[in-house]
Amino acid sequence: MGNHCARSEPDDAVVKPKFSIGKDYKEIEGQFCGEGIKKTLAWRATITRMQLESKREEFWQSRTAGRRNIWLIIKNAMEADHETAALLLQMSGLILKSENICLLEDTNGNLYEIPTFMVNNPLCFSNEKKKAVPKQVIQENVEITVKIRKPGVTDDQKFTLNNLKTGQELKELYAENLSIPLENLRLFFGGKEMNYSNTLAAHCIQNEMVINSFIKSLESCKLSDNL
């Protein structure tokens, strides 16, 4: 399950991997869930939400082969929306080897297989009733803690600030913390680059939410300047 291997076959011989997390696990042909690169066949199995989370954690902990930083990037992509996930893969040099994120190739030609159950939830969970989700109202002028996630890094960096601070102020704070030029940093939330003139509240960023960061390397800058 989720094996990592070196490429030994031509591209047209790559077959999308099939996985199972239970005896009654079934992928439903012709029915899909998810969007963009996270669009997969819908699936069902007798499993609770807690059991699925346990299975997913087991999958990440069992990734012993392959490049650890690549698995971290893939994990970040799994936890992000489909637009941010696509951007993460693109900026990390990962290539889709199937119609979605379930089979990836890194710059060394290594393949990474990701089960469908890691990408999308089942059509329904066992013993769980649907609950109405109340509409959230964003309270302004409050202190919040935001997590900034850097591709390939295990731990998020946390910043506590007023949610009336702008995206630009957060960007400056993070760039200063990393000691990098401001122009080398981009921040993304909800699959889109932040409007740096807007406040965090205007972005609907709440306490403990994750903002993805993308940093242009100084080496790349020097190369582009010399062209």
Rounded Cα gap, residues 80 and 91, in angstroms: 15
Rounded Cα gap, residues 178 and 4, in angstroms: 33
Q: What is 143-218's CATH number, 3.40.640.10, 3.10.20.90, 3.30.300.30, 3.40.50.300?
A: 3.10.20.90
The confidence score (pLDDT) of residue 183 equals 92
Report pTM. 0.65
Rounded Cα gap, residues 15 and 126, in angstroms: 31
Tokens representing 105 are 């190739």
**Residue 172 is which amino acid?**
E
Instruction: Identify the residue whose tokens are 């239970």.
Output: 22
Q: Is the pLDDT of residue 33 over 80?
A: yes
Rounded Cα gap, residues 208 and 152, in angstroms: 20
Specify whether the CB–CB gap between 100 and 38 falls below 8 A.
yes
Q: Is the pLDDT of residue 207 over 70?
A: yes
How many residues comprise the chain?
227
Question: pLDDT tens digits, residue range 168-194?
Answer: 999 999 999 999 999 999 999 877 889
4: pLDDT confidence band, cut at 50, 70 and 90?
very low
Which of 62-66, 71-75, 137-141 has the largest mean confidence? 71-75
Rounded Cα gap, residues 26 and 65, in angstroms: 27
- The residue extents of the domains of the chain are 14-119, 143-218
